[in-house]
Amino acid sequence: MEYQSLLIKYAEIGVKGKNRYMFEDRLVRRAAAVLRKIPGRFQVYKSNGRIYAEASEAFDLDQAVEALQHVFGISGISPLVQLPLMPPEEMRQAAADYFEKAHPAYGGSFKVVATRANKAYPWDSNEINRQVGEEILSRLPESRVDVHRPELTLRVEVREKVNFYSETIPGPGGMPVGGTDKAMLLLSGGIDSPVAGYMVAKRGVNLEAVYFHAPPYTSERAKQKVVDLATQVAAYAGPIRLHVINYTEIQLAIYETCPHDELTIIMRRYMMRIAQTLAEQNGALALITGESIGQVASQTLKSLVSTNEVCTMPVFRPLIAFDKQDIIDLSQKIGTFETSILPYEDCCTIFVAKHPVTRPNPGIIRRSEEKLLPGINELVEKALAEDEIILCE
C-alpha cells in the first residue's frame, strides 16, 4: 500500500476554545520538525480543523509514524490515501481498491463510515456506506459487514478531496510543546529524572535542564550520559539547553564542614538553590525533579520537606507517588532506560554517607549550613558564572 499522507488526530487541544489555533500551530511546528529529520519531504498543514502531513517523495511509513509518536498532542496517526474528488461510481471502485490493497484477502468483519463535508456530492453518507460496502463484499467474499463491532472501519471522507483510511495508530497524547512556558529539570544520570522531564513536557511545557557535575569524582562519560539523556528527552520535548554546573568545590566544602550523615541532604539543598537561581536567570517558572516518596534516604517525606524548604519556586515532582517498577516501565517506553542504567557514577554516590539521616531536623540542618557561610556563597556564584551550556536536540 502506498500512502501519501498521514492524518494527525489530536484530542485534548481540541477543547481549548479561542486558543485552539495556538495549540494546533505548535503541533504543526513540532510535527514538521520531527518529520524534517526523515525522508519524505513532508508538508504539515491544517485544513478544516484537521492536521495533515503530506509527503512529496517516497517515505517509510513505520519511520514516519515513529517520528510522530514523539509529538505531544497527537492522539492518533492514520495513514491516508488522498485522491482528487471524483464521481460516485469511480469513488466506489477507488474505495474498494484502497481496502483491498490495505487489507489483502481480508476475511474479517468491517464497516464503512463515510462523512460528507461536501454537501453537493451526489451520494449522501448512507449511500456511500452502502455502495462501498457492497463493492468490498463483492470483491472479498470472505469478509462481512458488522455495523456494531467491526474489526475494521473504513473511513471515507468526501471533502475537497476524497480521503480513505482504516487504521489509527496511537500517538503519545498530551499537549504540544513550543509555547513560552518553561521549567528547569534537575537531570541526573539516573532512571527517574528523564522520565520526570518527559512527563512535564508532555503537558506542553518546554524544558531547560541542569546537571551537577563533580569532576574528577564524576567522569566525562557520566556527563556524556546526561547529554545523551537530555537529547533523548529532547526528541519529545524539543531542544533542551542543558546547563552543566561544576559542583566539585561546593561538594568538597560541604564534605569538609558538615556532619557526614547530613551530606546528601545538604548537597541536595544546594542543588535546589542553584537550580532555582538558574531557573530565574533563564525565565523558567518551576523546577522539576525525579523524586519519589521513600525511594532512598534523601526522599523520605521529611527529607523531601527539607529539600523543598530552600525553594520559593514551585517544584514539580511528577513521580512522587510512582512505584519504581512503573518508572522503569515508562523509561523503557520512552527509550531512556538503556542509557540510564549505564554504570557511570553520579555525583552523589562518591560523597554518600553509610548511614544518611532519614529524618533530618530542620534546625540542625540549617545550623550545619550556617557553618558553610560565607564561603559557600562565593563558590555558588563561581559555579553559576562558569555554567557550561550544551544544546541538546
Binding part of the chain for ligand ATP, among 92-100, 144-152, 205-213, 236-244 by CB under 6 A, reads: 205-213
Q: How far is the CB of 250 from ligand ATP (least distance, A)?
A: 12
Please, which of residues 89-148 interact with ligand ATP by CB under 6 A?
Answer: none
Closest distance between ligand ATP and the C-beta of residue 231, in Å? 16
Q: What share of the chain is helix, strand, coil (3-state, %, to 5)?
A: 45, 20, 35
Among positions 324-353, residues that touch ligand ATP (CB under 6 A) are: 346-348
Which grid cell sits at 306? Answer: 527539607
Q: Which residue is nearest to Mg ion (CB)?
A: 190
Piece in contact with ligand ATP (CB under 6 A), picked from 31-39, 72-80, 147-155, 187-195: 187-195
Q: Taking the CA atoms of the chain, what radius of gyration do you get in angstroms?
A: 27
Judged by CB under 6 A, the residue of 284, 291, 300, 318 near ligand ATP is: 291
> CB of residue 290 vs ligand ATP: minimum separation in angstroms?
3
**Packing angle, helices 248-257 and 375-385, rounded to 10:** 160
Residue of the chain from 114, 184, 191, 254 that contacts ligand ATP (CB under 6 A): 191
Q: Nearest-CA neighbor of 246 among 224, 223, 269, 273?
A: 223
Number of residues that bind ligand ATP (CB under 6 A): 21
Retrieve residue 198's grid coordinates.
518527559
Collapsing DSSP to helix, strand or coil, 19 comes out as helix
298 binds ligand ATP (CB under 6 A): yes
Nearest to 250 by CA among 238, 241, 258: 258
Our finding on whether 186 is near ligand ATP (CB under 6 A) is yes
**Which residues are 384's β-sheet partners?**
none
Q: Residue 117 carries which side chain, given as an amino acid letter? A: A
User: Minimum distance between the CB of residue 342 and Mg ion, rounded to whole angstroms?
Assistant: 13
Taking CB under 6 A as the criterion, the residue among 133, 174, 190, 360 binding ligand ATP is: 190
- 195: how many CB neighbours lie within 10 A of its CB? 27
Q: Which is nearer to Mg ion, 193 or 246 (CB)?
A: 193
Of residues 156 and 271, the one with the C-beta less far from Mg ion: 271
Q: Which does 296 bind (CB under 5 to 8 A by kind): ligand ATP, Mg ion, none?
A: ligand ATP
Q: Which stretch binds ligand ATP (CB under 6 A): 141-149, 174-182, 278-286, 292-300?
A: 292-300
Q: Which amino acid is located at 92 in the chain?
A: R
Question: Considering only residues 165, 212, 316, 337, which one is a binding residue for ligand ATP as defined by CB under 6 A?
Answer: 212
Distance of CA 302 to the CA centre of its chain: 31
Q: How far is CA 83 from CA 103, 111, 342, 391, in A?
A: 19, 21, 49, 42
Residues 6+ apart with CB under 8 A from 202: 72, 172, 173, 174, 175, 236
CB 196 to Mg ion: min, Å: 11
Task: Return the residue of 5, 166, 193, 206 that touches ligand ATP, per CB under 6 A.
Answer: 193
Cis bond leading into 374, ω under 30°? yes
Footprint of ligand ATP (CB under 6 A): 186-188, 190-193, 210-212, 271, 289-291, 295-296, 298-299, 346-348
